[in-house]
Amino acid sequence: MRSLLGSRFRSVAGQVFVLQVAIVVLLAAGALLALVLQSRHDTDREARNRSVSVAETFAHSLGLQDTLKTSDPSAVLQPLAEETRKAAGVDFIVVMDTEGTRYSHPQPDRIGKKFVGTIEPSLAGQVHTESVEGPLGKEIQAVVPVTAADGKVVALVSAGLTVKNVSSVVERQLPVILLATATGLALATAGSALISRRLRRQTHGLGTQEMTRMYEHHDAVLHAVREGVLITDGDGRLLLANDEAKRLLGLPEDADGRHIADVPGLDRRMADLLLSGREATDEVLETGDRLLVVNQRPTHPRGRPEGTAVTIRDSTEMQVLTSRADTARRRLKLLYDAGGDIGTSLDVVRTAEELAAVAVPRFADFVTVDLADQVLDGDEPAPGADMRRTAISGIRSDHPLYPVGRLIDFLPSTPQARGYGTGRAELVPALADAPGWQAQDPPRAQAIVEYGIHSLIAAPLMARGVVLGVVNFWRSQKQEPFDEDELSLAEELVARAAVSMDNARRYTREHALAVTLQRSLLPRALPEQSAMDVAHFYLPAQSGVGGDWFDVIPLPGSRVALVVGDVVGHGLHAAATMGRLRTAVHNFSSLDLPPDEILARLDDLVQRIDHDHDGNGDDGSGVLGATCLYAVYDPVSQRCTMARAGHLPPLLVAPDGTTEIVELPAGPPLGLGGMPFETAELELAEGSQLVLYTDGLIEERTRDISEGLELLRAALSHPDRDPHDSCRAVLDMLLPARPTDDVALLIARTRTLGPDRVVQWDVPFEPSAVGGMRSVAAKKLDEWGLTDLGFATELILSELITNALRHGSEPVRVRLLRDHNLTCEVWDGSSTAPHLRYAATTDEGGRGLFLVAQLSEHWGTRYTPEGKVIWAELALPGSPAADAEPPALAAFLDVDPL
């Protein structure tokens, strides 16, 4: 049987399920048999009762006895009997005389023949039922007497049903009986399956042997574990206590089954906890000389609390280890926090303050950080360098330690000096017994000891083999001195901080070098010129100096060039690149080229720089990106010509206060190449302000460029301010608290050179015009009070006009400008540039430009769309250049001095 059932039914649950199903099937079969037998019995009884009822009803019907007295009773009784038979649902109704001769029958040929059945009991006045083999087959019939008034039986009436009709009734009932039986069997089987499934889940499909073995293992493990286990019920009765629980709590062997309050030897606090039924997690109870850790949870076997399960472990032996582990955890937490809290900035002082703050009060009561004085400037300290107190942190502020900023020269006997020299931390358990430390400053040492500071650790800050300073950990509140374990912790803490300190020192050095380089490359003072009143501002980013620059470059003819540029990036490389570009702009400006040509040459230069560095490998020293804006203002014509290479357009503030962004063609940033730069020319009214700036002024994380431009326009909408006041207003409104990019601002208010300081003549294109021009020029110089410059001016104009007439083309013009110096300009329509050359003694010409160069302070050539201009500047009388030693003409003319 077991092999037939298979492994699925070898478990207790499977066997119980098979037994339950077998019992249900047997009960269902018995119930079905009983129902069939009962149905048949009930049907037979129903047939007899119906036959008797129909026969008695017909026998007592009115007129029956009168009909029997007629000569032909069958004529009346046959139709009446058939009609009644059909209405009553019986198979036959037979009326007969006392002899058994029939008056009616369902089969008319049977009328007049003898009745088949027993009539004697009925003749005696009784109702008799029986089963006989009649003309219609096997029949169940009843015979009822018909009695006269005097009680005499005068006739008999029989009614009945054939067995075939009775069986059909049973057969019609059988499906209902079978359906009911099948439904009951299915419900019983399903219930048995559910119960078996739950039993299987509870027993996990285990058989009796497996369950027995599991119980034995469970009992063995329960009593073998080194942790006490208690189980109580909802009434506070102890159901189970393993061996370890009895040992820890001192319970007797017969404790199981007793009420908690009646268990002898159980500690009162433990009993209260067990009776409370509440949850407990790692709750520590002291019972006798043991320290027990108790966990208690309510049990819910039927969905409601019905007891508790308790585990107990002995932590007495682990108390010391726990204390040590807690100390180690606190120290690891200190080192972890130090890694995140120290070195948040690249500032040496801030890093020292963070180091002092992180150790108080978790490790020491006071911490002082002393750094070599050179470290604060970013340099590596020398051996034996003096140290400056950089940071202090403590639990109180009234301590007698050296204050911040104090320069300290530690004596060789002090632990600070020894640690600084050897690079190893020094432990002073008792400061009161440390004469070497007290020798540094005896009065202060006495005050420190009297204050309550009694122990010291001096740990040197060493990074990459260089000692940067000493960190002092002082203890006052805790009575125990520092020990060797704490000395190791101090060394680890300081070692982690030393890397951040050295990074801050290196950054300080690089930042100082970059600032120094940048300051040397930026203009220290604006040159003297008359074309504009200029105010400027420059601020490097907090993260380090960058590549923004500005410039004001005087040009011949009292003109001035305004330059603003921006090199991408920060640090030394950006500052050095800025210096190269600024020098290049100065050199190109000396050629007196228009703005678009200067930017084109600057773009070629940047491309060559990038190409050279690409060829030498990727060392990161190429120009990553640069922008520039170059503008030239002429105070005589009041026209400004400008061009830009990827830079933000300038703002123009009119004398009436209206501001506008100059519509300037946007060229590509420097270094891209391939696209020409375009210029724009504006005519500026006197008093207009031209504002040049870099993106660091208007860009910020909290606002975009458009918002910054609107703020800039609002700050500049006061034309009555001078450039310096406008510069301050712009900075107050736009300057970020911590700029992330360099900020450069240049505000220039235009001025003009009026007719009283400028004169211009058209020169006829003939040699005889030279003398006339010398005469009118001398007359104008007399009007300006510059008679002393007459000879040199006439000689210069004579040479320049003669060259224009001889080597140039029409038209020829002469212009004199009186500004900080006297400028002589000769214009002609030729683009041929003159050049100096040495003339031999026998040459008739070739000395004109030498004379011009010797007599003038500066001279040069610039080109215009119509030709060129040759100019020469002479220093005005009384200026430092005019008081210099006069030129030695003989050195240039190859003639003996007069």
Amino acid letter at 152? K
What is the Cα–Cα distance from 553 to 597, expressed in whole angstroms? 16
Looking at beta carbons, which pairs linking 176-182 to residues 24 or more positions away fall under 8 Å?
A: 177/32, 177/35, 177/36, 177/39, 178/32, 180/35, 181/28, 181/31, 181/32, 181/35
> Is it true that the peptide bond before 135 is cis, omega within 30 degrees of 0?
no
Cβ atoms of 102 and 114 closer than 8 Å? yes
Lateral strand order in the sheet of 466-475 = 407-408, 387-394, 366-372, 466-475, 455-463, 426-428
Tokens 């077991």 locate to 2
Q: Lowest mean pLDDT of 337-346, 458-467, 636-645, name the range.
A: 337-346
pLDDT digits (tens, 9 = 90+) for 239-280: 888 888 888 888 888 888 888 888 888 888 888 888 888 888
Q: 639 pLDDT exceeds 90?
A: yes
DSSP 442-489: HHHHHHHHHHT--EEEEEEEEETTEEEEEEEEEE-SSSSPP-HHHHHH
- Please give the pLDDT value at position 478: 86
Residue 819, SS3 per DSSP:
coil
Looking at beta carbons, which pairs linking 460-464 to residues 24 or more positions away fall under 8 Å?
A: 460/419, 460/420, 460/422, 460/423, 460/424, 460/425, 460/494, 461/369, 461/371, 461/494, 461/497, 461/498, 461/501, 462/423, 462/495, 462/498, 463/498, 463/499, 463/501, 463/502, 464/502
**Tokens at 460, concatenated:** 């040197």
Tell me which DSSP letter residue 8 carries: G
**Tokens at 730, concatenated:** 């712009």
Lateral strand order in the sheet of 689-693 = 532-539, 743-750, 689-693, 651-653, 659-661
Residues 6+ apart with CB under 8 A from 796: 824, 851, 852, 855, 856, 872, 874
What is the Cα–Cα distance from 232 to 241, expressed in whole angstroms? 9
What does the chain come to in residues? Answer: 898
Residues 6+ apart with CB under 8 A from 808: 828, 829, 830, 832, 867, 868
More confidently predicted of 740 and 305: 740
Rounded mean pLDDT of 344-373? 89
**Tokens at 361, concatenated:** 């009060």
Cβ atoms of 83 and 54 closer than 8 Å? no
Residues 6+ apart with CB under 8 A from 85: 54, 91, 92, 93, 106, 159
Which residues sit opposite 130 in a β-bridge? 141
Residues 6+ apart with CB under 8 A from 546: 540, 566, 567, 569, 570, 571, 574, 575, 578, 696, 741, 742
Residues 6+ apart with CB under 8 A from 563: 549, 550, 551, 552, 553, 582, 585, 628, 629, 630, 631
> Is it true that the peptide bond before 361 is cis, omega within 30 degrees of 0?
yes
127-158 burial: b if 16+ Cβ within 10 Å, else e: ebbbbeebebeebbbbbbbbeeeeeebbbbbb
What value does the CA radius of gyration of the chain take, rounded to a whole number of Å?
A: 63
Rounded mean pLDDT of 844-859? 72
pLDDT digits (tens, 9 = 90+) for 1-36: 444 444 455 555 566 667 766 776 777 677 667 766
- Please give the pLDDT value at position 370: 92
Split at pLDDT 50, 70, 90, the class of 852 is confident
Tokens 């300190």 locate to 501
What are the distances in angstroms from CA 706 to CA 79, 467, 564, 734?
121, 51, 20, 13
What is the Cα–Cα distance from 575 to 569, expressed in whole angstroms? 9
Residue 766, SS3 per DSSP:
coil
The span from the first CA to the last CA of the chain, in angstroms, equals 151
Cβ atoms of 145 and 126 closer than 8 Å? yes
* Backbone CA torsion sign across 62, 63, 68, 73: negative
pLDDT digits (tens, 9 = 90+) for 254-265: 888 888 888 888
What is the Cα–Cα distance from 542 to 701, expressed in whole angstroms? 14
- Please give the pLDDT value at position 551: 92
For residue 671, count other CB atoms closer than 10 A to its CB.
Answer: 22
- Please give the pLDDT value at position 846: 54
pLDDT digits (tens, 9 = 90+) for 414-437: 999 998 888 899 999 999 999 999
For residue 14, count other CB atoms closer than 10 A to its CB.
Answer: 20
- Please give the pLDDT value at position 346: 82
Phi-psi map region of 288: left, alpha, beta (phi>0 left; psi -120 to 50 alpha):
left
Amino acid letter at 769? A
- Please give the pLDDT value at position 847: 62
Rounded mean pLDDT of 485-494? 88
- Please give the pLDDT value at position 843: 46
Rounded mean pLDDT of 734-752? 85
- Please give the pLDDT value at position 890: 45
What is the Cα–Cα distance from 27 to 85, expressed in whole angstroms? 42
pLDDT digits (tens, 9 = 90+) for 51-107: 888 888 888 887 888 888 888 888 888 888 888 888 887 888 888 988 888 888 888
Cβ atoms of 117 and 141 closer than 8 Å? yes
Helices vs. strands in the chain: H and E counts, helices first: 24, 31
Which residues sit opposite 71 in a β-bridge? none
Rounded mean pLDDT of 151-176? 73
Q: Are strands 639-645 and 666-667 parallel, antiparallel or unpaired?
A: parallel
pLDDT digits (tens, 9 = 90+) for 171-229: 666 676 677 767 767 776 777 677 777 767 766 666 666 667 766 666 767 767 778 88
Rounded mean pLDDT of 623-635? 87
Tokens 């009646």 locate to 262
Q: Lowest mean pLDDT of 624-633, 771-780, 868-877, 885-894, name the range.
A: 885-894
- Kind plus residue range of the DSSP H or E element containing 437: helix 435-438
Q: Which of 433, 410, 429 is nearest to 420 (CA)?
A: 410
- Please give the pLDDT value at position 667: 87
- Please give the pLDDT value at position 53: 86
